[in-house]
Amino acid sequence: LVDLVGTSQSNISQHLSILRDKGILASRKDANKVYYRIGDDKILALMETMREAFCSAH
């Protein structure tokens, strides 16, 4: 994410923490790594709707 977004690892971590605290993301730790996923089914549904609307071939 750091390379993709072009910001610091600290900044990314702070944003991920906020999203996790708000219930938008869920996380799990495995040794020294943290894995994130979308933690709200409504957001997944919204993302799917947006993908269908904007990314489908017409």
Domain at 15, CATH number: 1.10.10.10
Amino acid in the structure at residue 49 = T
Q: Considering the entire predicted model, what is its pTM?
A: 0.73
Q: What's the structural domain count of the chain?
A: 1
Give the pLDDT confidence of 19-38 residue by residue, as tens digits. Answer: 999 999 999 999 999 999 99
Number of helices (H) and strands (E) in the chain: give both, helices first: 3, 2
Cβ neighbourhood burial of 9 (10 Å; 0-12, 13-18, 19+): exposed
Which helix (H) or strand (E) segment holds residue 13: the answer is helix 9-21
Q: pLDDT tens for residues 33-52?
A: 999 999 999 999 999 999 99
Range of the domain at 19: 2-55
